[in-house]
Chain A
Amino acid sequence: MQRVLATMFFIAAALFPIALAADQWTDMLPAGDGQQETKELCSNCHNLQKIVQSRKTPQEWERSVNDMLARGAQIFPDEAEKIAKYLSASFPPGK
């Protein structure tokens, strides 16, 4: 249900191109193991627009999360792995 809402939100945002507040992007994360970590840790540095709007393979998501780690994000390796798995399941190519 949450994913349907997220899709509807995405379509609405596309039709009505207004800037969304940072917390609205956060609200568009579907439920799942890793949602909380993604919400809390990723948004310390940036809003979640780039996550919600991206579609990537598991390798690409792992690469992105590790890239953030290398750029100074305060994320531990076990959390990075969990976030990468969550993003792979939630935002795969073609979805």
Chain B
Amino acid sequence: MRALVRDYLDLGLSRRGFLKAMAAAGFTLTAAESVLKNLAPVAHAETAGKEYWKEFEGNGGELLAEQLLQTGNEYLFVGNGSGLGALCDAVIDRPKLKLVLSTHEAHVVAMASGYALASGKTAFCMYSRVGAAHSTGNIYNAMKDRIPLVIAVDRADTTEDGRDGHEDLEDMLEPMKQYTKWRWIPKEVARVPEWTAKAFKVASTMPSGPTYMMFPRDVMFEQKAKTKIFLPGTFDVPMNVRPNAKTVEKTAKMLVEAKTPLFNIGPEVYQGGGQKEIVELVELLGIPIFERGQLCQVFPNQHPLYLGQMRGQIRYPQNVDFFMNIGARWDEANESFVAQKKIPAVVAGVDVRHLGDGIAIEDALVGSVKESLRDLIDAVKAVATKDRIEKIRQSRFEETKKFTERLRAGREANAKKIWDNKPIEWDRVGKEIEAIADKDAIFVEEFGSQRNKCMDHISIGYGAKTQLGRTTGECLGWGLPAAIGVKLAKPDHQVWALQGDGGMLFNQTEALWPMRRHEAPIITVIFNNRSYNETRNRMWTRGKNQREKKLDMISHLGNPDVNFAKIADAYDIKGEVVAEPKDLKPALQRAINATRDGKPYLLDVLVTQAGQGANMNWYPKVSIAEMRSKKA
């Protein structure tokens, strides 16, 4: 009945259809009519007297601001540029809109991305068109991560464009084609609100992603129009799309009848709001579960059914006879055990362009993952008795629990063994953070291959702490500004920015500026191993000369030996270098105390290198000073 009521209220089911379906479900006509009578006020309230737009007269900047007010956005993420003048003028008279400023366009996009990820809203950012090139790394990240962003830049006057003029190229939309879902140049001032509303609609409709607009300066400053501003609720496409009912029933039967089913889930489960449902479903049937994707930890990582990151081959469980991929992109799928052993696979999600890439699909649940999982739970309960479900669950759950407990015990023992090592071990930093962090803390991380050494010791995922990042696209230079956006969305949560030194040196030291300017009490921890550890390992594994001659050509970062605490000091942010293992815990406490007082804090923790070529600390020297023939 729950599903029928929802269909009726969503206007997908007529009154007659509702009565017919209720009768088919075994309800009397009187009972069905009684339900309809009770629903009538709710159903009519949906549309009665609804206003779709209002009229407003103003220049392009004012029309843009008026439309932005209707999107529910309080914060506009901006960079500096004279093309933002008309918007700035409009914001002065609209105090509901607040500007969050960064000095670098890539950080504007990352702040907006973090805000969108943590709030679930579509974020807006604007900066100078010549800064757009700077920002593409994080637009690429947003596209890969399906983050709903509306990105706006300025453009030359409509009377001057197309002449390769001042700060202009002939086609400045083309470079954004691969990074965005939709692009537009609003050249008619009367249609600025319409196109802005469209940009929000396209960006937010799942699979979501960035949209891009270039506002000509004359449209923004001088041109005026009286036109329609679209009101809230008129430019959202509801994505609570339910999957095909027959496919749900078929999948439920396969799940119940399978001896060894296995799940793989991805970020779409977080973005589609299905975390609670995935935990409920796998617990219902005792299904072991992997994750694929690094944008966030979806499933609780300390849960007995959680097996870790999905690989091409797996050790456990063996003899998988049913596989479900829910909201994950899995680029190794065609070489995986699923393809090799021809395991029947059902995929679920809205990202139809990539749904089931690389594997043969038995069937697909196309729709919201939340709705699909909810319907699957109901269907499983409908096709099997409570006793049968419990019997299925118990044996699987216990077997998987034994396996995961043994693995975790091994990792714990390993961490204990290396606890006092110097430089400090990643495992120790993870465990010390876990012991001291708030229960609802949020971690924004941008690690490489050493990630699990730290994050496996922190309870993250649904019902535990939250982890966002690293980006799927892995374009470094995202984490710190993204953490600022996260803190803005969740000011009452403790927010940690966890970074490698390599990632920090990809432009991110400037992100300390907006962190200080906007007084964002964030704990930044730099895992400083003075190396691009991941790339060194990858190169040395596949290549030969560096490995055999033990020459680290491009991965050593120890010269200059950057002191990130000193950099923080330049931005008026307190920080300290932590070199001794015993000093870590009190330093973390000082950082927490500072953030409780409303101030950001930075820890530069000297951690271990690992793998091939670790601790070589050699690099090919090119000294310009030595090239001189005189002291010039």
Enumerate chain A interface residues (CB-CB to B < 8 A): 14, 17, 40-41, 43-46, 49-50, 53-54, 64, 66-67, 69-72, 74-77, 80
Given A64-B611, A66-B414, do A76 and B309 touch, yes or no (CB 8 Å)? Answer: no
Closest residue of chain B to A22, judged by CB?
A: B335
- Chain A residue at smallest Cβ distance from B457: A70
Contact with A along B394-420 (1 / 0, CB 8 A): 000000000000110111011101100
Q: Is B258 an interface residue (CB 8 A)?
A: no
Closest to B412 in A: A77
How far apart sit A46 and B456, CA to CA, in the bound complex (Å)?
Answer: 20
Q: How far is the CB of A63 from chain B (nearest CB, A)?
A: 8
- Closest beta carbon of chain A to B17's beta carbon, Å: 50
A76:B407 contact, CB within 8 angstroms: yes
Which residue of chain B lies nearest to A49 when distances are taken between CB atoms in the complex? B541
A36 to chain B: closest CB distance in Å? Answer: 13
The residue on B at minimum CB distance from A13 is B544
Q: In the complex, which of the residues B316, B409, B542 contacts A49, with contact meaning CB atoms closer than 8 Å?
A: B542
User: Is A67 a contact partner of B610 (Cβ separation < 8 A)?
Assistant: yes
Q: Which residues of B sit under 8 angstroms from A44, Cβ to Cβ?
A: 311-315
Tell me the residues in window 283-328 of chain B with beta carbons closer than 8 Å to chain A beta carbons. 307-309, 311-316
Q: A44: shortest Cβ distance to chain B, in Å? A: 5
What are 13 contact pairs spanning A and B, CB under 8 A? A41-B315, A49-B541, A64-B611, A66-B414, A66-B417, A70-B426, A70-B452, A70-B456, A71-B450, A71-B452, A72-B309, A72-B452, A76-B407
Contact in complex: B315, A77 (CB < 8 Å):
no
Kindly list 16 other residue pairs between chains A and B, CB separation below 8 angstroms, not including A69-B410, A70-B411, A77-B409.
Answer: A14-B544, A44-B311, A45-B311, A49-B542, A54-B612, A64-B611, A67-B611, A70-B415, A70-B427, A71-B452, A72-B456, A74-B316, A75-B407, A75-B410, A77-B410, A77-B413
Q: How many A-B residue pairs have CB under 8 A?
A: 63
Contact B414 A43 (CB under 8 A): no
Residues of B within 8 A of A (CB): 307-309, 311-316, 406-407, 409-411, 413-415, 417-418, 426-427, 449-453, 456, 540-542, 544, 547, 610-612
- C-alpha gap A58/B451 in the complex (Å): 25
Measured CA separation A11–B544 after assembly (Å): 13
Measured CB to CB, the closest approach of chain A to B426, in angstroms, equals 7
- Contact indicator B410/A50 (Cβ below 8 Å): no
- CB pair B453 A70 closer than 8 Å: yes
Is A74 in contact with B414, judged by CB distance below 8 angstroms? no
